[in-house]
């Protein structure tokens, strides 16, 4: 009921009367009043004017299920838009990827469930690296999917997620009047002014020919004000790059819509043929000089873009080389991008 009340108040221009809320939801005045008080306790500033009703004047920067889902629900039909069907929120957890995996295995949790937290005590990056995830500053979330695709194609979901995060950030920045352009650093870092503002970790449980579930974990630095010396040369936040404090839930809602759109295209062909043009237009070093660094060799050339499988094509003096994700890092010739 909280989500529904929030949804109606959020989407109305002016005041909504208590009676209208009671009628819409089929509940008593006291029930509505209780929810309004809960919302106030969560930080929503709600004006209550006699004979007019309720009106929200300020929204807190929180990531609760009702805050997110109320932005993704149609008032008239009650149906939700986007990939996220349900949100599970934690004040703190070790890692939302771990929460999603535990829920998938223990409770058979459903496709489209999003696990999100205010802070992670054991945030994970790729290949055992860590992900710094302090409270109040970022979006630490994991999307559980049960896609009907071949396991060998699942790694491309990371590319789909990168496109959706890039578009979501872009949409929210634009709504707030910023023309800062965030881009993708192949395969799936999101960068703003050449600094990493988001990383993605995709994990999967599968048999040879069947996927049990995929967990796409995303860490977005939104309002982080400082980074540790060890990462500050490459890491940044949307706040540090734009000077604007963005509401994190807006980015999550925009992500949900963008992901659904790109995912739809991807699952039809189970490759990136329909998305690569868009992806390549988001690529930070498209046409630029890059260096692919392996354990024992380096390949230097111009980044052309991805192919249908999401591999990076680099044009070198010896012709085109295909770079697969894995034990390789691709950087600009003189730094991270
Ligand atoms: P990655 O391996 O590309 O990046 C990890 C590296 O990035 C670290 O070794 C460090 O140098 C740097 N780093 C650490 N924290 C940050 C940060 N907050 N911002 C920028 N750079 C940083 C990327 O791995 C995958 C990250 C996924 C994080 C999400 S959060 C929700 C979900 N739960 C979870 O445990 N992981 C995912």
Ligand 1: atom nearest CA of 235 is 20
Q: Which helix (H) or strand (E) holds 121?
A: none
**Centroid of ligand 1 to alpha carbon of 125 (angstroms):** 4
- Residues near 152 by Cβ (< 8 Å), separated by ≥ 6? none
The residue segments making up the domain with residue 298 are 285-332
User: Ligand 1 atom closest to Cα of 189?
Assistant: 3
Q: Which letter, b or e, does each residue of 287-297 get, where b requires 16 or more Cβ atoms within 10 Å of its Cβ? A: eeebebeeeee
**What does the CA dihedral 299, 305, 307, 313 come to, rounded to 10 degrees?**
-20
Distance CA 90, CA 97 (A): 12
pLDDT at 327 over 80: no
97 is in an annotated binding site: yes
CA distances from 100 to 216, 217, 225, 238, 259 (A): 9, 9, 28, 26, 18
Supply the CATH number for residue 125's domain.
Answer: 3.30.930.10
Read off the pLDDT of residues 41-71 as tens digits, 9 standing for 90 and up.
999 999 999 999 999 999 999 999 999 999 9
> In this structure, what token pair is assigned to residue 252?
């999550």
Least confident of 271-280, 289-298, 328-337: 328-337
Give the mean pLDDT of 5-18: 93
pTM of structure: 0.96
Q: Ligand 1, residues 219, 225, 229: which to mutate, most atoms within 8 A of Cβ?
A: 219
Identify the three-state secondary structure at position 78: coil
Same domain, 249 and 110: yes
Residues 44, 29 within the same domain: yes
- Assess contact for 306 and 186: CB atoms under 8 A: yes
Is 103:88 a contact under the CB 8 Å cutoff? yes
How does the average pLDDT of the chain come out, rounded?
Answer: 94
ipTM of the complex: 0.99
Total domain count, the chain: 3
Judged against a pLDDT cut of 70, whether residue 28 lies above it is answered with yes
For 285-308, the pLDDT digits (tens) are: 899 999 999 888 899 999 999 999
Q: Are residues 174 and 226 located together in one domain of the fold?
A: yes
């Amino acid at each position: 009921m909280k989500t529904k009340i929030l949804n109606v108040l959020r989407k109305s221009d002016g005041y909504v009367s208590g009676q209208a809320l009671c009628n819409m939801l089929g509940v008593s005045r006291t029930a509505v009043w209780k929810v309004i008080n809960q919302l106030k306790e969560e930080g929503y500033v709600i004006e209550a004017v006699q004979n007019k009703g309720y009106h929200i004047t300020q929204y807190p920067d929180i990531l609760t299920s009702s805050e997110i889902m109320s932005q993704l629900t149609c008032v008239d039909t009650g149906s939700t838009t986007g990939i996220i069907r349900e949100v599970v929120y934690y004040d703190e957890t070790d890692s939302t990827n771990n929460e999603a995996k535990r829920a998938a295995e223990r409770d058979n949790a459903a496709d489209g469930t999003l696990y999100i937290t205010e802070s992670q005590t054991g945030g994970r990056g790729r290949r055992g690296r860590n992900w710094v995830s302090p409270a109040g500053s970022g979006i630490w979330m994991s999307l559980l999917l049960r896609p009907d695709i071949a396991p060998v194609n699942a790694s491309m979901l990371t590319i789909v997620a990168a496109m959706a995060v890039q578009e979501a950030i872009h949409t929210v920045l634009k709504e707030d009047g910023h023309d800062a352009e965030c881009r993708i650093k192949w395969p799936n870092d999101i960068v703003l002014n050449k600094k990493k503002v988001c990383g993605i970790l995709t994990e999967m449980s599968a048999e040879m020919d069947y996927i049990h579930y995929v967990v796409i974990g995303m860490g977005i630095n939104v309002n982080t004000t400082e980074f540790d010396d060890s990462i500050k040369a490459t890491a940044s936040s949307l706040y540090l790059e734009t000077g604007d404090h963005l509401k994190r839930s807006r980015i999550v809602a925009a992500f949900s819509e963008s992901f659904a759109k790109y995912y739809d295209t991807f699952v039809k062909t189970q490759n990136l043929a329909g998305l690569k043009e868009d992806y390549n237009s988001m690529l930070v070093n498209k046409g630029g000089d890059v260096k692919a660094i392996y354990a024992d060799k380096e390949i230097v050339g111009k980044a052309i873009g991805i192919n249908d499988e999401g591999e990076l094509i680099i044009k070198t003096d010896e012709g085109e080389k295909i770079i697969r994700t894995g034990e390789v890092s691709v950087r600009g010739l003189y730094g991270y991008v």
